[in-house]
Structure 1
Amino acid sequence: MNNSPETLILIKIEEDGIAYITINRPKSLNSLTRPMMVDLAKAFKSLSDNELVKVIILSGSGRAFCSGVDLTSAEEVFKGDVKDVETDTVAQMEVCRKPIIGAVSGFAITAGFEIALACDVLVASKEAKFIDTHARFGIFPSWGLSQKLSRIIGPNRAREVSLAATPITAEQAERWGLVNHVVEKSDLLNKARNVAEAIIKNNQDLVMRYKAVINDGFKHDLANALVLEKKRAHEYYDGMSKDQFKKMQDFIAGRSSKKPASKL
Protein backbone atom coordinates (compact mmCIF):
# COMPACT_ATOMS: atom_id res chain seq x y z
CA MET A 1 0.00 0.00 0.00
CA ASN A 2 1.54 3.31 -1.08
CA ASN A 3 0.23 6.74 -0.25
CA SER A 4 0.47 9.79 -2.46
CA PRO A 5 3.58 11.99 -2.03
CA GLU A 6 1.67 14.82 -0.35
CA THR A 7 0.35 12.58 2.42
CA LEU A 8 1.91 13.55 5.75
CA ILE A 9 1.87 10.02 7.18
CA LEU A 10 3.11 7.48 4.63
CA ILE A 11 2.43 3.76 4.98
CA LYS A 12 4.03 1.00 2.96
CA ILE A 13 3.64 -2.76 3.50
CA GLU A 14 6.13 -5.11 1.85
CA GLU A 15 5.52 -8.72 0.92
CA ASP A 16 7.87 -10.02 3.60
CA GLY A 17 5.65 -8.56 6.33
CA ILE A 18 7.69 -5.43 7.10
CA ALA A 19 5.56 -2.28 7.25
CA TYR A 20 7.01 1.21 7.04
CA ILE A 21 5.45 4.31 8.57
CA THR A 22 7.12 7.59 7.57
CA ILE A 23 6.34 10.98 9.09
CA ASN A 24 6.47 13.05 5.93
CA ARG A 25 6.55 16.77 6.69
CA PRO A 26 10.24 17.47 6.12
CA LYS A 27 9.98 21.23 5.56
CA SER A 28 8.65 21.55 9.14
CA LEU A 29 11.10 18.95 10.52
CA ASN A 30 8.17 16.53 10.76
CA SER A 31 6.41 18.56 13.46
CA LEU A 32 2.99 17.14 14.30
CA THR A 33 -0.41 18.71 13.82
CA ARG A 34 -3.48 17.21 15.46
CA PRO A 35 -4.62 15.50 12.21
CA MET A 36 -1.15 13.97 11.79
CA MET A 37 -1.28 12.58 15.34
CA VAL A 38 -4.67 11.06 14.62
CA ASP A 39 -3.41 9.55 11.35
CA LEU A 40 -0.36 8.10 13.12
CA ALA A 41 -2.57 6.51 15.76
CA LYS A 42 -4.83 5.03 13.08
CA ALA A 43 -1.79 3.73 11.17
CA PHE A 44 -0.48 1.81 14.18
CA LYS A 45 -3.93 0.43 14.97
CA SER A 46 -4.44 -0.69 11.38
CA LEU A 47 -1.03 -2.36 11.12
CA SER A 48 -1.46 -4.02 14.50
CA ASP A 49 -4.68 -5.62 13.24
CA ASN A 50 -3.24 -6.55 9.82
CA GLU A 51 -2.24 -10.23 9.90
CA LEU A 52 0.15 -9.71 6.95
CA VAL A 53 2.27 -7.32 9.01
CA LYS A 54 4.95 -8.79 11.28
CA VAL A 55 7.18 -5.79 12.13
CA ILE A 56 6.76 -2.01 11.80
CA ILE A 57 9.62 0.41 11.04
CA LEU A 58 8.92 4.05 11.94
CA SER A 59 11.03 6.87 10.51
CA GLY A 60 10.89 10.52 9.50
CA SER A 61 11.67 12.05 6.12
CA GLY A 62 14.35 14.69 5.65
CA ARG A 63 16.54 16.08 8.44
CA ALA A 64 14.47 15.02 11.45
CA PHE A 65 12.72 12.04 12.95
CA CYS A 66 10.09 14.27 14.55
CA SER A 67 10.56 17.74 16.03
CA GLY A 68 7.51 17.47 18.26
CA VAL A 69 4.16 19.21 18.19
CA ASP A 70 3.65 22.05 15.73
CA LEU A 71 3.30 24.83 18.30
CA THR A 72 1.27 26.97 15.90
CA SER A 73 -1.55 24.47 16.55
CA ALA A 74 -0.66 23.78 20.19
CA GLU A 75 -4.07 24.66 21.62
CA GLU A 76 -5.81 22.28 19.22
CA VAL A 77 -3.38 19.52 20.22
CA PHE A 78 -3.36 20.01 23.98
CA LYS A 79 -6.98 21.05 24.53
CA GLY A 80 -8.55 18.86 21.90
CA ASP A 81 -10.03 15.40 22.42
CA VAL A 82 -6.69 14.14 23.75
CA LYS A 83 -8.22 11.56 26.08
CA ASP A 84 -9.46 9.47 23.17
CA VAL A 85 -7.21 6.38 23.15
CA GLU A 86 -8.20 5.55 19.58
CA THR A 87 -6.60 8.76 18.28
CA ASP A 88 -3.67 8.89 20.72
CA THR A 89 -0.45 8.04 18.86
CA VAL A 90 1.57 6.78 21.82
CA ALA A 91 -1.38 4.91 23.32
CA GLN A 92 -1.82 3.04 20.04
CA MET A 93 1.92 2.32 19.85
CA GLU A 94 1.81 0.88 23.37
CA VAL A 95 -1.05 -1.51 22.54
CA CYS A 96 0.29 -2.36 19.07
CA ARG A 97 0.84 -6.13 18.92
CA LYS A 98 3.63 -5.93 16.37
CA PRO A 99 7.22 -4.96 17.27
CA ILE A 100 7.98 -1.33 16.39
CA ILE A 101 11.50 -0.39 15.32
CA GLY A 102 12.23 3.33 15.43
CA ALA A 103 14.77 4.53 12.85
CA VAL A 104 15.86 7.90 14.21
CA SER A 105 17.78 10.32 12.01
CA GLY A 106 18.26 13.93 13.03
CA PHE A 107 16.10 15.46 15.74
CA ALA A 108 13.69 13.61 18.03
CA ILE A 109 12.34 16.52 20.08
CA THR A 110 9.81 16.45 22.93
CA ALA A 111 6.74 14.68 21.44
CA GLY A 112 9.12 13.17 18.88
CA PHE A 113 11.28 11.94 21.77
CA GLU A 114 8.17 10.43 23.38
CA ILE A 115 7.27 8.65 20.15
CA ALA A 116 10.82 7.26 20.01
CA LEU A 117 10.44 6.00 23.60
CA ALA A 118 7.26 4.18 22.57
CA CYS A 119 9.21 2.08 20.05
CA ASP A 120 10.39 -1.41 21.04
CA VAL A 121 13.81 -1.11 19.41
CA LEU A 122 15.67 2.07 18.45
CA VAL A 123 18.26 2.44 15.70
CA ALA A 124 19.82 5.89 15.35
CA SER A 125 22.03 7.63 12.83
CA LYS A 126 25.25 9.18 14.15
CA GLU A 127 23.85 12.70 13.96
CA ALA A 128 20.63 11.89 15.83
CA LYS A 129 19.77 14.03 18.85
CA PHE A 130 17.11 13.44 21.50
CA ILE A 131 15.89 16.64 23.19
CA ASP A 132 13.19 17.29 25.80
CA THR A 133 11.95 20.88 25.61
CA HIS A 134 8.82 20.54 27.77
CA ALA A 135 10.32 22.75 30.49
CA ARG A 136 11.57 25.32 27.97
CA PHE A 137 8.15 25.96 26.43
CA GLY A 138 5.94 25.35 29.46
CA ILE A 139 4.40 22.14 28.14
CA PHE A 140 3.48 19.37 30.57
CA PRO A 141 4.55 15.89 29.38
CA SER A 142 1.69 13.46 28.74
CA TRP A 143 3.15 10.78 26.46
CA GLY A 144 5.41 9.20 29.06
CA LEU A 145 8.70 11.10 28.87
CA SER A 146 8.71 12.09 32.55
CA GLN A 147 8.45 8.44 33.60
CA LYS A 148 10.04 6.33 30.87
CA LEU A 149 13.33 8.19 30.42
CA SER A 150 14.40 7.91 34.08
CA ARG A 151 13.73 4.17 34.00
CA ILE A 152 16.02 3.77 30.99
CA ILE A 153 18.93 6.14 31.64
CA GLY A 154 18.57 6.70 35.40
CA PRO A 155 16.87 9.53 37.32
CA ASN A 156 19.89 11.82 37.64
CA ARG A 157 20.59 11.85 33.91
CA ALA A 158 16.89 12.16 33.12
CA ARG A 159 16.50 15.16 35.41
CA GLU A 160 19.33 17.00 33.67
CA VAL A 161 18.02 16.10 30.22
CA SER A 162 14.50 17.30 31.02
CA LEU A 163 15.03 20.19 33.44
CA ALA A 164 17.93 21.72 31.49
CA ALA A 165 16.70 20.67 28.03
CA THR A 166 20.11 19.06 27.44
CA PRO A 167 20.43 17.17 24.12
CA ILE A 168 21.36 13.49 24.15
CA THR A 169 23.67 12.66 21.25
CA ALA A 170 23.47 9.33 19.45
CA GLU A 171 26.72 8.23 21.07
CA GLN A 172 25.41 9.06 24.57
CA ALA A 173 22.08 7.41 23.79
CA GLU A 174 23.81 4.16 22.86
CA ARG A 175 26.11 4.30 25.88
CA TRP A 176 23.17 4.94 28.23
CA GLY A 177 21.06 2.12 26.78
CA LEU A 178 18.50 4.40 25.15
CA VAL A 179 19.18 3.14 21.60
CA ASN A 180 20.19 -0.33 20.40
CA HIS A 181 22.41 0.63 17.46
CA VAL A 182 24.10 3.73 16.04
CA VAL A 183 24.97 3.65 12.33
CA GLU A 184 25.74 5.96 9.43
CA LYS A 185 22.66 7.75 8.13
CA SER A 186 22.95 5.88 4.82
CA ASP A 187 22.75 2.57 6.71
CA LEU A 188 19.87 3.50 9.02
CA LEU A 189 16.95 1.83 7.26
CA ASN A 190 19.09 -1.15 6.27
CA LYS A 191 19.99 -1.72 9.92
CA ALA A 192 16.37 -1.37 10.96
CA ARG A 193 15.44 -3.86 8.24
CA ASN A 194 18.11 -6.29 9.45
CA VAL A 195 16.62 -6.23 12.93
CA ALA A 196 13.13 -6.67 11.46
CA GLU A 197 14.24 -9.64 9.36
CA ALA A 198 15.77 -11.31 12.42
CA ILE A 199 12.45 -10.91 14.25
CA ILE A 200 10.47 -12.29 11.30
CA LYS A 201 12.47 -15.54 11.37
CA ASN A 202 10.95 -16.44 14.72
CA ASN A 203 7.56 -17.77 15.85
CA GLN A 204 5.30 -14.77 15.28
CA ASP A 205 2.69 -15.72 17.86
CA LEU A 206 5.43 -15.96 20.49
CA VAL A 207 7.05 -12.73 19.25
CA MET A 208 3.82 -10.81 19.91
CA ARG A 209 3.29 -12.50 23.27
CA TYR A 210 6.92 -11.84 24.25
CA LYS A 211 6.71 -8.16 23.32
CA ALA A 212 3.55 -7.85 25.42
CA VAL A 213 4.95 -9.58 28.50
CA ILE A 214 8.17 -7.50 28.42
CA ASN A 215 6.30 -4.22 28.00
CA ASP A 216 3.53 -5.06 30.47
CA GLY A 217 5.99 -6.41 33.02
CA PHE A 218 8.08 -3.24 32.78
CA LYS A 219 5.16 -1.37 34.36
CA HIS A 220 5.44 -3.47 37.55
CA ASP A 221 8.09 -4.08 40.18
CA LEU A 222 10.15 -7.25 39.61
CA ALA A 223 8.15 -9.46 41.98
CA ASN A 224 4.81 -8.68 40.30
CA ALA A 225 6.37 -8.82 36.84
CA LEU A 226 7.58 -12.37 37.55
CA VAL A 227 4.06 -13.31 38.68
CA LEU A 228 2.72 -11.87 35.41
CA GLU A 229 5.23 -13.90 33.36
CA LYS A 230 4.35 -17.12 35.21
CA LYS A 231 0.62 -16.52 34.77
CA ARG A 232 0.91 -15.94 31.03
CA ALA A 233 3.27 -18.89 30.62
CA HIS A 234 0.74 -21.22 32.27
CA GLU A 235 -2.05 -19.80 30.10
CA TYR A 236 0.09 -20.31 26.99
CA TYR A 237 1.04 -23.92 27.74
CA ASP A 238 -2.47 -24.82 28.93
CA GLY A 239 -3.73 -23.68 25.54
CA MET A 240 -1.28 -25.80 23.54
CA SER A 241 -2.46 -29.03 21.92
CA LYS A 242 -0.52 -32.31 21.77
CA ASP A 243 0.07 -31.62 18.08
CA GLN A 244 1.65 -28.25 18.90
CA PHE A 245 3.97 -29.86 21.44
CA LYS A 246 4.92 -32.49 18.85
CA LYS A 247 5.69 -29.80 16.26
CA MET A 248 7.89 -28.03 18.82
CA GLN A 249 9.76 -31.27 19.55
CA ASP A 250 10.15 -32.04 15.84
CA PHE A 251 11.49 -28.52 15.21
CA ILE A 252 14.03 -28.81 18.02
CA ALA A 253 15.04 -32.28 16.84
CA GLY A 254 15.47 -30.98 13.29
CA ARG A 255 17.65 -28.10 14.44
CA SER A 256 19.76 -30.45 16.57
CA SER A 257 20.37 -32.85 13.68
CA LYS A 258 21.78 -29.99 11.56
CA LYS A 259 24.38 -29.01 14.15
CA PRO A 260 27.94 -30.18 13.42
CA ALA A 261 29.37 -32.67 15.88
CA SER A 262 31.06 -30.87 18.75
CA LYS A 263 34.79 -31.22 19.07
CA LEU A 264 36.32 -32.08 22.43
Structure 2
Amino acid sequence: MLRADRAGVCQLTLNRPDKLNALNVDLFRALEAHIADLEAAPAGVVVLRGAGRCFSAGHDLGDIAAGEKLPRPNYQSHVIERLADLPLPVVSAVHGHCYTGALELALAADIILAAESAKFGDTHAKWALTPVWGLSQRLPRRVGTYKAREMMFTCRTYSGRQAETMGLANACVADAEFEAAIDSLASEILANSSFSHAANKRLLTETDGLPQRAGLAHEIYRGEGVGPDMSDRIQEFTRRSTFRQSPS
Protein backbone atom coordinates (compact mmCIF):
# COMPACT_ATOMS: atom_id res chain seq x y z
CA MET A 1 0.00 0.00 0.00
CA LEU A 2 1.40 3.36 -1.03
CA ARG A 3 0.47 6.74 0.43
CA ALA A 4 1.06 10.11 -1.21
CA ASP A 5 -0.08 13.41 0.31
CA ARG A 6 -0.35 16.57 -1.76
CA ALA A 7 -2.23 19.80 -1.04
CA GLY A 8 -4.79 18.19 1.26
CA VAL A 9 -5.31 15.05 -0.85
CA CYS A 10 -4.27 11.71 0.62
CA GLN A 11 -3.90 9.15 -2.16
CA LEU A 12 -3.85 5.52 -1.02
CA THR A 13 -2.78 3.07 -3.72
CA LEU A 14 -3.29 -0.69 -3.59
CA ASN A 15 0.15 -1.84 -4.64
CA ARG A 16 0.27 -5.49 -5.72
CA PRO A 17 0.24 -4.86 -9.48
CA ASP A 18 1.81 -8.25 -10.25
CA LYS A 19 -1.25 -9.84 -8.57
CA LEU A 20 -3.74 -7.33 -10.02
CA ASN A 21 -3.87 -5.82 -6.53
CA ALA A 22 -5.65 -8.88 -5.14
CA LEU A 23 -6.64 -8.20 -1.55
CA ASN A 24 -4.75 -10.18 1.07
CA VAL A 25 -4.27 -9.79 4.82
CA ASP A 26 -0.99 -7.89 4.52
CA LEU A 27 -2.62 -5.32 2.27
CA PHE A 28 -5.46 -4.86 4.77
CA ARG A 29 -2.92 -4.43 7.59
CA ALA A 30 -1.26 -1.65 5.61
CA LEU A 31 -4.63 -0.05 4.81
CA GLU A 32 -5.62 -0.18 8.48
CA ALA A 33 -2.42 1.59 9.50
CA HIS A 34 -3.10 4.42 7.05
CA ILE A 35 -6.71 4.68 8.22
CA ALA A 36 -5.51 4.96 11.84
CA ASP A 37 -3.20 7.81 10.81
CA LEU A 38 -6.09 9.56 9.05
CA GLU A 39 -8.34 9.15 12.10
CA ALA A 40 -5.67 10.93 14.16
CA ALA A 41 -4.83 13.59 11.57
CA PRO A 42 -7.47 13.83 8.83
CA ALA A 43 -6.62 14.97 5.31
CA GLY A 44 -8.99 17.01 3.17
CA VAL A 45 -10.01 14.09 0.98
CA VAL A 46 -8.89 10.48 0.52
CA VAL A 47 -8.54 8.93 -2.92
CA LEU A 48 -8.32 5.13 -2.98
CA ARG A 49 -7.03 3.58 -6.19
CA GLY A 50 -4.99 0.71 -7.61
CA ALA A 51 -1.50 0.51 -9.12
CA GLY A 52 -0.87 -0.87 -12.58
CA ARG A 53 -3.61 -2.32 -14.74
CA CYS A 54 -6.58 -2.14 -12.37
CA PHE A 55 -8.15 -1.12 -9.08
CA SER A 56 -8.22 -4.70 -7.79
CA ALA A 57 -9.22 -8.12 -9.07
CA GLY A 58 -10.78 -8.87 -5.67
CA HIS A 59 -10.10 -11.02 -2.64
CA ASP A 60 -7.00 -13.16 -3.18
CA LEU A 61 -8.46 -16.61 -3.85
CA GLY A 62 -5.10 -18.23 -3.13
CA ASP A 63 -5.18 -16.79 0.37
CA ILE A 64 -8.73 -18.00 0.88
CA ALA A 65 -7.83 -21.51 -0.24
CA ALA A 66 -4.73 -21.59 1.96
CA GLY A 67 -6.67 -20.40 4.99
CA GLU A 68 -6.07 -16.81 5.97
CA LYS A 69 -4.61 -16.00 9.37
CA LEU A 70 -6.59 -12.98 10.49
CA PRO A 71 -5.51 -10.69 13.34
CA ARG A 72 -9.05 -10.94 14.70
CA PRO A 73 -12.42 -12.28 13.50
CA ASN A 74 -14.06 -10.35 10.66
CA TYR A 75 -10.86 -8.36 10.27
CA GLN A 76 -11.30 -7.10 6.70
CA SER A 77 -14.89 -5.98 7.28
CA HIS A 78 -13.79 -3.97 10.32
CA VAL A 79 -11.06 -2.24 8.28
CA ILE A 80 -13.56 -1.41 5.53
CA GLU A 81 -15.98 0.02 8.12
CA ARG A 82 -13.22 2.24 9.51
CA LEU A 83 -12.53 3.50 5.99
CA ALA A 84 -16.22 4.22 5.42
CA ASP A 85 -16.49 6.00 8.79
CA LEU A 86 -13.60 8.41 8.25
CA PRO A 87 -14.88 11.95 8.98
CA LEU A 88 -13.89 13.21 5.55
CA PRO A 89 -14.82 12.51 1.93
CA VAL A 90 -13.46 9.27 0.50
CA VAL A 91 -13.28 8.69 -3.26
CA SER A 92 -12.71 5.33 -4.96
CA ALA A 93 -11.02 5.91 -8.32
CA VAL A 94 -11.60 2.73 -10.32
CA HIS A 95 -9.92 1.65 -13.54
CA GLY A 96 -9.75 -1.90 -14.86
CA HIS A 97 -10.97 -4.79 -12.71
CA CYS A 98 -13.09 -4.16 -9.60
CA TYR A 99 -14.58 -7.51 -8.67
CA THR A 100 -16.29 -8.91 -5.59
CA GLY A 101 -14.13 -8.07 -2.55
CA ALA A 102 -12.66 -5.13 -4.44
CA LEU A 103 -16.18 -3.90 -5.17
CA GLU A 104 -16.97 -4.17 -1.47
CA LEU A 105 -13.91 -2.05 -0.72
CA ALA A 106 -14.77 0.52 -3.41
CA LEU A 107 -18.33 0.78 -2.08
CA ALA A 108 -17.00 2.05 1.26
CA ALA A 109 -16.20 5.34 -0.46
CA ASP A 110 -18.57 8.29 -0.57
CA ILE A 111 -17.99 8.75 -4.30
CA ILE A 112 -16.92 6.28 -6.99
CA LEU A 113 -15.22 7.72 -10.06
CA ALA A 114 -14.83 5.22 -12.89
CA ALA A 115 -12.65 5.16 -15.97
CA GLU A 116 -14.19 3.77 -19.16
CA SER A 117 -11.88 0.76 -18.74
CA ALA A 118 -13.46 -0.11 -15.38
CA LYS A 119 -15.08 -3.51 -15.05
CA PHE A 120 -17.35 -4.01 -12.04
CA GLY A 121 -18.78 -7.33 -10.92
CA ASP A 122 -19.90 -9.37 -7.93
CA THR A 123 -18.79 -12.98 -8.34
CA HIS A 124 -19.46 -14.33 -4.85
CA ALA A 125 -21.98 -16.82 -6.24
CA LYS A 126 -19.45 -18.11 -8.77
CA TRP A 127 -17.30 -19.36 -5.88
CA ALA A 128 -20.14 -20.45 -3.52
CA LEU A 129 -19.47 -17.47 -1.26
CA THR A 130 -21.62 -14.74 0.25
CA PRO A 131 -20.59 -11.16 1.05
CA VAL A 132 -19.11 -10.43 4.47
CA TRP A 133 -17.49 -7.05 3.76
CA GLY A 134 -20.67 -5.00 3.30
CA LEU A 135 -21.80 -5.58 -0.28
CA SER A 136 -25.31 -6.83 0.56
CA GLN A 137 -25.99 -3.51 2.33
CA ARG A 138 -24.06 -0.94 0.31
CA LEU A 139 -24.72 -2.19 -3.22
CA PRO A 140 -28.56 -1.99 -3.01
CA ARG A 141 -28.30 1.49 -1.54
CA ARG A 142 -26.41 2.59 -4.64
CA VAL A 143 -28.17 0.75 -7.45
CA GLY A 144 -31.49 -0.40 -5.97
CA THR A 145 -32.35 -3.79 -4.57
CA TYR A 146 -33.39 -5.44 -7.85
CA LYS A 147 -30.33 -4.30 -9.79
CA ALA A 148 -28.23 -5.56 -6.90
CA ARG A 149 -29.98 -8.92 -7.17
CA GLU A 150 -29.21 -9.03 -10.87
CA MET A 151 -25.54 -8.34 -10.21
CA MET A 152 -25.32 -10.88 -7.39
CA PHE A 153 -27.28 -13.65 -9.16
CA THR A 154 -25.73 -13.37 -12.64
CA CYS A 155 -22.13 -12.50 -11.68
CA ARG A 156 -22.06 -10.32 -14.80
CA THR A 157 -19.37 -7.77 -15.56
CA TYR A 158 -20.45 -4.14 -16.04
CA SER A 159 -18.45 -1.46 -17.81
CA GLY A 160 -17.61 1.94 -16.38
CA ARG A 161 -20.34 3.53 -18.50
CA GLN A 162 -22.90 0.94 -17.35
CA ALA A 163 -21.85 1.56 -13.75
CA GLU A 164 -22.46 5.28 -14.23
CA THR A 165 -25.88 4.66 -15.80
CA MET A 166 -27.03 2.41 -12.95
CA GLY A 167 -25.71 4.77 -10.26
CA LEU A 168 -22.93 2.49 -9.07
CA ALA A 169 -20.35 5.06 -10.23
CA ASN A 170 -21.02 8.76 -9.75
CA ALA A 171 -19.26 9.50 -13.02
CA CYS A 172 -17.32 7.75 -15.79
CA VAL A 173 -14.60 9.42 -17.82
CA ALA A 174 -12.35 8.40 -20.69
CA ASP A 175 -9.16 6.70 -19.57
CA ALA A 176 -7.07 9.52 -21.01
CA GLU A 177 -8.96 11.97 -18.77
CA PHE A 178 -8.96 9.82 -15.63
CA GLU A 179 -6.03 11.46 -13.80
CA ALA A 180 -7.31 14.96 -14.55
CA ALA A 181 -10.82 13.97 -13.40
CA ILE A 182 -9.47 12.66 -10.09
CA ASP A 183 -7.58 15.91 -9.51
CA SER A 184 -10.57 18.04 -10.50
CA LEU A 185 -12.96 16.17 -8.20
CA ALA A 186 -10.54 16.37 -5.29
CA SER A 187 -10.07 20.11 -5.88
CA GLU A 188 -13.83 20.71 -5.90
CA ILE A 189 -14.17 18.91 -2.58
CA LEU A 190 -11.18 20.67 -1.01
CA ALA A 191 -12.58 24.09 -1.91
CA ASN A 192 -15.39 23.55 0.60
CA SER A 193 -15.44 23.37 4.40
CA SER A 194 -13.95 20.29 6.05
CA PHE A 195 -16.26 21.02 8.99
CA SER A 196 -19.29 20.74 6.71
CA HIS A 197 -17.94 17.59 5.03
CA ALA A 198 -17.54 15.80 8.36
CA ALA A 199 -20.84 17.04 9.77
CA ASN A 200 -22.80 16.29 6.60
CA LYS A 201 -21.30 12.81 6.38
CA ARG A 202 -22.40 12.13 9.96
CA LEU A 203 -25.90 13.41 9.19
CA LEU A 204 -26.22 11.16 6.15
CA THR A 205 -24.88 8.12 8.00
CA GLU A 206 -26.91 8.60 11.16
CA THR A 207 -30.21 9.16 9.31
CA ASP A 208 -29.77 6.44 6.67
CA GLY A 209 -32.91 4.29 6.69
CA LEU A 210 -34.90 6.52 9.05
CA PRO A 211 -38.42 7.63 8.11
CA GLN A 212 -38.36 11.17 6.71
CA ARG A 213 -39.96 12.77 9.76
CA ALA A 214 -37.40 11.14 12.08
CA GLY A 215 -34.58 12.14 9.75
CA LEU A 216 -35.77 15.74 9.66
CA ALA A 217 -35.93 15.84 13.46
CA HIS A 218 -32.38 14.48 13.63
CA GLU A 219 -31.15 17.16 11.22
CA ILE A 220 -32.90 19.99 13.06
CA TYR A 221 -32.09 19.03 16.64
CA ARG A 222 -28.83 17.10 16.32
CA GLY A 223 -27.19 18.74 13.31
CA GLU A 224 -23.99 20.63 14.05
CA GLY A 225 -24.98 23.94 12.49
CA VAL A 226 -22.33 26.61 12.07
CA GLY A 227 -18.68 25.76 11.59
CA PRO A 228 -15.66 27.73 12.84
CA ASP A 229 -14.74 28.83 9.31
CA MET A 230 -18.16 30.25 8.35
CA SER A 231 -17.33 33.91 9.03
CA ASP A 232 -14.05 33.77 7.15
CA ARG A 233 -15.70 32.11 4.17
CA ILE A 234 -18.51 34.66 3.99
CA GLN A 235 -16.07 37.55 4.34
CA GLU A 236 -13.90 36.16 1.56
CA PHE A 237 -16.92 35.70 -0.69
CA THR A 238 -18.05 39.27 0.03
CA ARG A 239 -14.56 40.62 -0.66
CA ARG A 240 -14.36 38.85 -3.99
CA SER A 241 -17.86 39.94 -4.99
CA THR A 242 -17.05 43.56 -4.16
CA PHE A 243 -13.80 43.36 -6.14
CA ARG A 244 -15.59 41.96 -9.19
CA GLN A 245 -18.24 44.70 -9.07
CA SER A 246 -15.76 47.57 -8.62
CA PRO A 247 -15.35 49.79 -11.71
CA SER A 248 -12.04 49.35 -13.48
Same fold, TM-score > 0.5, yes or no: yes
Conserved? CA contact 2:25–2:70, under 8 Å: no
Aligned to 1:37: 28
Which of 101, 116, 119 is residue 129 of structure 1 equivalent to? 119
The question of 1:192 aligning with 2:177 is answered no
**Cα RMSD over matched residues?**
2.5
Counterparts of 2:49 and 2:167, CA distance in 1: 20
Conserved? CA contact 1:103–1:189, under 8 Å: no
Counterparts of 1:165 and 1:194, CA distance in 2: 33
Amino acid at match of 1:119: A
Q: List runs of 5+ in structure 1 lacking aligned partners.
A: 1-8
Which of 87, 94, 106 is residue 104 of structure 1 equivalent to? 94
Counterparts of 1:136 and 1:104, CA distance in 2: 22
| Pairwise CA distance, 1:43 | 1.3
| Pairwise CA distance, 1:12 | 0.9
Aligned to 1:236: 225
Amino acid at match of 1:250: Q
Aligned to 2:12: 21
Q: How does 1:1-264 map to 2 (within 5 A)?
A: 9-14=1-6, 16-51=7-42, 53-74=43-64, 76-77=67-68, 81-83=72-74, 88-233=78-223, 235-237=224-226, 247=232, 250-251=235-236, 253-254=238-239, 256-258=241-243
Q: Deviation digits for residues 32-59 of structure 1, max 9, x if unmatched?
A: 11121121122123123224x2111111
Amino acid at match of 2:107: L
The size of the alignment, in residue pairs, is 245
Conserved? CA contact 2:20–2:52, under 8 Å: yes
Conserved? CA contact 1:37–1:88, under 8 Å: no
| Pairwise CA distance, 1:71 | 1.4
TM-score, normalised with respect to structure 2: 0.88
Amino acid at match of 1:28: K
Conserved? CA contact 2:115–2:178, under 8 Å: yes
Percent of aligned pairs with the same amino acid: 27
Conserved? CA contact 2:104–2:134, under 8 Å: yes
Conserved? CA contact 2:35–2:82, under 8 Å: yes
1:198 aligns to what SS in structure 2? helix
1:66 aligns to what SS in structure 2? coil
| Pairwise CA distance, 1:171 | 1.1
Conserved? CA contact 1:41–1:88, under 8 Å: no
2:73 aligns to what SS in structure 1? coil
